[in-house]
Amino acid sequence: MIEISKIADVLDECAALEKSFISLLRKLVKTETPPANPGSHKKLFSILEKELQLLDYTTEILPGTLSGGQLYARPKNGNGRCYQLLLGHADTVWPKGTLTKMPFNRDGNVLTGPGIYDMKAGIVMMILALKLIRDLGLKPEIVPVLFINSDEETGSRDSAARIKNLAKAMKRVYVLEPSLDPDGKLKTRRKGVGHFDVRIKGVSSHAGIEPEKGRSAIVELSYLIQKLHALNDPEKGISVNVGKIGGGINTNVVAADSSASVDVRVLTKKDADRIEREIKSIQPATPDVELEITGGFKRPPLVQNQRNRELWLAARHIGEELDIDLTEGISGGGSDGSYTSMFTATLDGLGAVGDGAHSPTEKVFLEETLQRIAILVNMLLIPVNGNK
């Protein structure tokens, strides 16, 4: 069990950060960072580098092959000590030009704009938590370092290996992904995410003259979709979704080819292994048809092991002391916290309170999000022997 001897009551100081929070968040939101535009990520990283250098952090841009790379930052005087990681991503799901339809805006306690909730507000929270720790003269026993990638929304193909390596060297990891639901649940469990590609090769023929000579790849795909759909098990948290299909060349031709892309979510590694075996063991129902299924699980589930559970209980305790009611929940979405959880204690969903991730209603609740900075500050102050 994590023991916390003293809680830093910094709620008033966090509320006073409102102007700084909005100012930096406006800059980040107005710097659009779609996945397919690496140059935009570099522009945002440049903004963050300046902020971190003011905090006496050394920054490094790590190159990416398929993305805009990653930003890694550590304090100049933090060498040779125990480390904790603040983890997040700069990319959003929104294409360039979305700002014209979803401009950055404030309406009372609500802030809106593309990527504001997932997860640019979380990045601002990292910066301001570190600034508050410095300004108040607080001394974390465990050195906070930052890692922000630019390809989380597309599977972290460039950055996953680096994230895993970093996690091995960390005492603990805090993921500043947005909290869950408008009441701001922390994400103590996440589903593992799998992706499978299906390709079917049939036999073409004239649909009017000799349809019996054909073997329709589209008909075979319809059978396969039903088999995949039967794998859904909501009670166990298993979802299998055929989200994209293709095939055929014309209505008067029996289709020789078809394809599908499949998304799979599970709560346990055991179910991930089983579902992957079952999907890849599916055989064609139509004679003379060839079926190829590739892919697998990329992000493992984030599970409730003891070390993760202790971080959640510590956060809840801090919340109680600050009169902030924290609850927990399960997210069906993936995050890089699933990678770090394989190697070290991880707590996810410590970012903004709001709603509407990946939707035109994306929003952040300002007052509640500023309060969460107080939670983060205290989590960063947990001592070295706080968890074993």
Q: Enter the tokens of residue 18.
A: 């409102």
Cα–Cα distance list, 370 to 31, 73, 144, 236, 350 (Å): 22, 23, 19, 35, 12
pLDDT of residue 386: 58
pLDDT of residue 1: 76
Which domains does the chain carry?
Answer: 11-190+301-386 (3.40.630.10), 192-299 (3.30.70.360)
pLDDT of residue 387: 47
Q: What tens digit of pLDDT does each residue of 80-136 get? A: 679 999 999 999 999 999 999 999 999 999 999 999 999 999 999 999 999 999 999
Q: How many other C-beta atoms are found inside a 10 Å radius of the C-beta of residue 58?
A: 16
Quote the CA–CA distance of 332 and 354 in Å, as a whole number. Answer: 17
Q: Output helix, strand, coil percentages for the chain, rounded to the nearest 5.
A: 35, 25, 40
Residue 345: Cβ-neighbour burial (10 angstroms; 0-12, 13-18, 19+): buried
Contacts of 66 (CB under 8 A, 6+ apart): 151, 154, 157, 158
User: Strand 328-331 and strand 105-107: pairing?
Assistant: unpaired
- Asked if the model's pLDDT at residue 241 lies above 70, the reply is yes
Which of 370, 360, 351 shows the shortest CA–CA distance to 113? 360
Q: Is the dihedral of CA 78, 84, 89, 90 positive or negative?
A: negative
pLDDT of residue 171: 97
Residues above pLDDT 90, as percent of the chain = 92
Strand ranges for the chain from DSSP E: 57-62, 70-75, 83-89, 105-107, 110-112, 143-149, 172-175, 186-190, 192-201, 239-247, 257-266, 290-299, 328-331, 345-347, 354-355, 363-365
User: Strand 192-201 and strand 257-266: pairing?
Assistant: antiparallel
pLDDT of residue 80: 66
DSSP code for 152 = G
Residues above pLDDT 70, as percent of the chain = 99
What's the pLDDT band for 255 if we cut at 50, 70, 90?
very high
Quote the CA–CA distance of 86 and 383 in Å, as a whole number. Answer: 16
Please provide the average confidence, as pLDDT, over all residues in the chain.
95
pLDDT of residue 36: 77
pLDDT of residue 40: 86
* 350-361 residues labelled b (16+ CB within 10 A) or e (exposed): bbbbbbbbeeee
Cross-strand pairs, 264: 194, 240
Q: Enter the tokens of residue 93.
A: 């799901």
Q: What tens digit of pLDDT does each residue of 300-355 get? A: 999 999 999 999 999 999 999 999 999 999 999 889 999 999 999 999 999 999 99
Which of 382, 368, 379, 341 shows the shortest CA–CA distance to 184? 368
Quote the CA–CA distance of 211 and 207 in Å, as a whole number. Answer: 5
**Residue bearing tokens 């398929």:** 66
pTM of the model: 0.92
Complete DSSP assignment for 300-366? PPB---HHHHHHHHHHHHHHHHTT----EEEESS--THHHHTTTSEEEB--S--EE-TTSTT-EEEH
- Asked if the model's pLDDT at residue 363 lies above 50, the reply is yes
Q: What tens digit of pLDDT does each residue of 43-66 get? A: 999 999 999 999 999 999 999 988
- Asked if the model's pLDDT at residue 79 lies above 90, the reply is no
- Asked if the model's pLDDT at residue 180 lies above 60, the reply is yes
Quote the CA–CA distance of 30 and 362 in Å, as a whole number. Answer: 15
- Strand, helix or coil at 224? helix
What's the pLDDT band for 78 if we cut at 50, 70, 90?
confident
